[in-house]
Amino acid sequence: MNKKIYIAHTGGTIGMKKTSEGYKTCPGFLEQQMAVMPEFKNELMPRYYINEYEPLLDSSDMSPGNWLVIAQDIAQNYDKYDGFIVLHGTDTMAYTASALPFMLQGLQKPVILTGGQIPLCEIRNDSRDNLITAMLIAANYNIPEVCLFFGSKLIRGNRSVKVDANSFEAFDSPNFPLLASCGIGIDINWNLVLPCPVHNLGINVNVLNKSAVAALRLFPGISEDVLRNILKPPIEGLVLETYGVGNGPANNPVLLNVLRSAAERGVVIVNCTQCYRGRVRMGAYATGTALGRAGVISGLDMTAEAALTKMFYLLSQNLPLEAVKAKMQENMKGELTELL
């Protein structure tokens, strides 16, 4: 095995050490653990280099600025390695996995996010298998996109959702098939994998500006004042998580006027369903139609994580408002299923 893998260790449970105060990040500890494990020296494993970030972060502390650090790190080392692993805490892994596809333009190599629910240092853990399998996929399968591997599933990054805080199968892809199922073998669904860019112009990083975006989950009895405050300037975009196929309270004219006023002011308001599976169909019910008339646009079958990170990306491109709205409903990086 002559393949070389770059491991960006951002933090998270996988590399934590057990202390009297609980699990903690400890500089150098993950690399020490891997160095004494014979599995990582096996001839079937790729060679690897670990870049440990300073400081190591719990993923709850991740921000778009940290996404940029990861993207730039990959770009700076892109030509020297065959694939890339991003070790990451599970809490916001789906957000990072959703953002990186929009940031890494021209990607032709695998970038796989993974981590663990139990640290690598424990006798019984999921981190070992997650890391080994992710490394083998990155080294042996030319999947030119950002993925998330966890448990037995290889998921397109911007289709991933954390679904379980306690299970080894912590992530799923509710509205898109798995890119691979990993049991006794590793079975890649090649018909689903995104094609390589037509022209090999190298890797380029799109910077996400500090756009003022937010997410809000509707609930029965939501106050118009809460919505009004969220939509005050300088807000530029809102992911509105609605009921069912994209429904909201149609008999609340004040709330609808708040949405309409913001949309007319140039705020991009995208409708994503609260449901685990399914797509937004705003014309199916009068309650969804009312949101559309107020200027809310459909997020189709995007996850809330994908919609939010895509909004960050588009609002950083200095595009006209109508172009941002149109591209929110365009399949750019496999994040949504286009209507037939």
Residue 25, annotated ligand binder? no
Residue 172, annotated ligand binder? no
**Active site (annotated) includes residue 92:** no
HEC sequence for 115-131? CCCCCCCCCCCCHHHHH
Q: Tell me how crowded residue 191 is: count the other CB atoms within 10 A of its CB.
A: 6
Question: Which of the following is catalytic: 10, 13, 92, 133?
Answer: 13
Question: Which of the following is catalytic: 10, 25, 90, 287?
Answer: 90
Q: Map residue 230 onto helix, strand or coil.
A: helix
Residue 273, annotated ligand binder? no
As a whole number of angstroms, the distance between CA 327 and CA 334 comes to 13
As a whole number of angstroms, the distance between CA 75 and CA 73 comes to 5
Inter-residue contact 212 to 244 (CB < 8 Å): no
**Active site (annotated) includes residue 90:** yes
Question: Is the Cα dihedral 220, 226, 232, 235 positive or negative?
Answer: negative
- Measured CA to CA in angstroms, residue 74 lies from 57, 80, 84, 112, 262 at distances of 18, 10, 7, 11, 38
The annotated binding site is made up of 59, 90-91
Point out the residues that are catalytic: 13, 90
The annotated binding site for substrate is made up of 59, 90-91
